[in-house]
Copies of this chain bind each other. A is one copy, B any other.
Amino acid sequence: MTTTDINNYTHTQGQQAKTASALMARAPAAVKSRALRALARLLRENVQALQQDNARDLERAVAAGLDAPMVDRLRLTPKVLETCAQGCEQLAAMPDIIGEVSGMKQQPSGIRVGQMRVPIGVFGMIYESRPNVTIEAASLSIKSGNACILRGGSEAIDSNKALARLVVQALQEAGLPEHGVQLVQTTDRAAVGQLIAMPQFVDVIIPRGGKGLIERISAEAKVPVIKHLDGNCHTYVDDPCDLDMAVTVADNAKTQKYSPCNASEGLLVARGVAAQFLPRIGAVYAAKGVQMRACPEALALLQSVADVDVQAATEADWDTEYLAPIISVKVVAGLDEAIAHINQHGSHHTDAILTRDHMHAQRFLRDVDSASVMVNASTRFADGFEYGLGAEIGISTDKFHARGPVGIEGLTSLKWVVLGEGEVRQ
């Protein structure tokens, strides 16, 4: 396609989304649920066909020399598809928050004023590799009464096209507009540039992917962006603390999975418990092959641990999101230093204190400037499903609009509703 073709194509999609969004916004809860259940059924009925389309993406990926984890993320197994189907059914069963009116109060003038929850309108989503995100985004869009335009990775284009066809079929079965969910069918990169620069059609952009992608989109977008940048998360072991619990939680926060953004990348330990705690967690990490990058004081306490992999931390370590079996370790004087370190070096994503001290817990919750602040729990819990949101369109590291895991509510806004009996302004 020429640049003009791309512009026309994206413009048309924008216009269609805008038109569809008015119909999606007023769709009754039962109709949206019908579409979601139809989509679940269609996913199950089409497992084989979807795998055939997916196979073309996989072949191309292997031929292009993508590494095994990348190819794995592309794969639509029956299990992945069943999880997608169940996700749709769970959303269908959740209460519908669109149209909810809250806070209706009478004012001195006599008018009653409240707020109604309404869809944002149209969101654009830009993501990479995993084709199942197509279904996650489409189903959240349907449930929240928005229209959306989805731009998946070029490596998953055949899978995404096949999935998007089923979404359109489900929308039509339920009597919803076919343009309620649209996939950008071209893999031309120019389409992304267009999609993020149509404020007349698109209300918000949600990029999901590497930091480079998100920074580029944020810099160029002409509409608001729900950003998810780094997760440099911390676990702080306070004094006093139940050290058995601390070992279990600090272990889980780092090693339950290394790649997620909510895994802890830094371990801070209060001086008063360091001599007891560090050799214990050091042994656990040693057994799992986790490398520690330690401050001099921690280094001294860790070096005698059997099979330990520990080295001196550099300044850069405090600011690094490893996404790997590596963790930075620092002994701090206590709560104040821990909070200061986290606010300076962390990425305002998720940070936890492990403590028995009530005042320390309260201060940590108040003063740590992160989207999720935790007491006596693993940072790995920072997740839309674990928070009971029922779904997650992304995790926001912004403070504006939505912060932390973003579920259906993050795709809505509140409009003011005023009910009167002929009141006028004096």
Q: Which residues of A contact B (CB under 8 A)?
A: 22, 25-26, 99, 105, 107, 109, 111, 113, 116, 118, 120-121, 203-204, 224, 242, 245, 248-249, 251-253, 256, 343, 352, 354, 365-367, 369-378, 380-382, 386-388, 398-401, 403-405, 413-425
Contacts and interface: CB of A to CB of B under 8 A. Distances in A.
Contact of A401 (B373, B377, B400, B404): B400
B387 A113 contact: yes
A21 B401 CA distance: 19
Contacts of A387: 107, 113, 416
Contacts of A400: 120, 203-204, 224, 400-401, 413
A47 to B, nearest CB: 27
Contact of A252 (B224, B343, B424): B424
Looking at chain A's contact residues, the main secondary structure is: mixed
A375 B418 contact: yes
A354 B421 CA distance: 9
Given A366-B26, A367-B26, A424-B249, A373 B415 contact: yes
Contacts of A371: 415-416
Given A111-B381, A403-B415, 16 more contacts: A22-B343, A99-B366, A107-B387, A224-B400, A245-B422, A252-B425, A371-B415, A371-B416, A372-B415, A374-B418, A375-B418, A376-B420, A376-B422, A381-B425, A400-B400, A403-B414
Contacts of A118: 369
A231 B75 CA distance: 50
A383 B168 CA distance: 42
Contacts of A204: 400
A352 B367 CA distance: 44
Nearest to A199: B218
A399 to B, nearest CB: 4
A365 B100 CA distance: 12
Nearest to A420: B377
A353 to B, nearest CB: 11
A375 B104 CA distance: 14
A416 B105 contact: no
A20 to B, nearest CB: 14
A386 B416 CA distance: 12
Nearest to A339: B22
16 contacts: A107-B386, A109-B381, A224-B398, A224-B400, A242-B422, A251-B424, A256-B425, A370-B415, A372-B415, A372-B417, A372-B418, A374-B418, A375-B418, A376-B419, A377-B423, A404-B416
Contact of A378 (B203, B245, B424): B424
A311 B256 CA distance: 74
Contact of A416 (B251, B376, B403, B419): B403
Nearest to A245: B422
Nearest to A226: B400
B423 A107 contact: no
A107, A113, A380, A401: most-surrounded residue (chain B CB, <10 A): A113
A196 to B, nearest CB: 14
A99, A120, A370, A386: most-surrounded residue (chain B CB, <10 A): A386
Contacts of A398: 224
Contacts of A99: 366
A420 to B, nearest CB: 3
A423 B113 contact: no
Nearest to A260: B425
Contact of A369 (B22, B107, B365, B382): B22
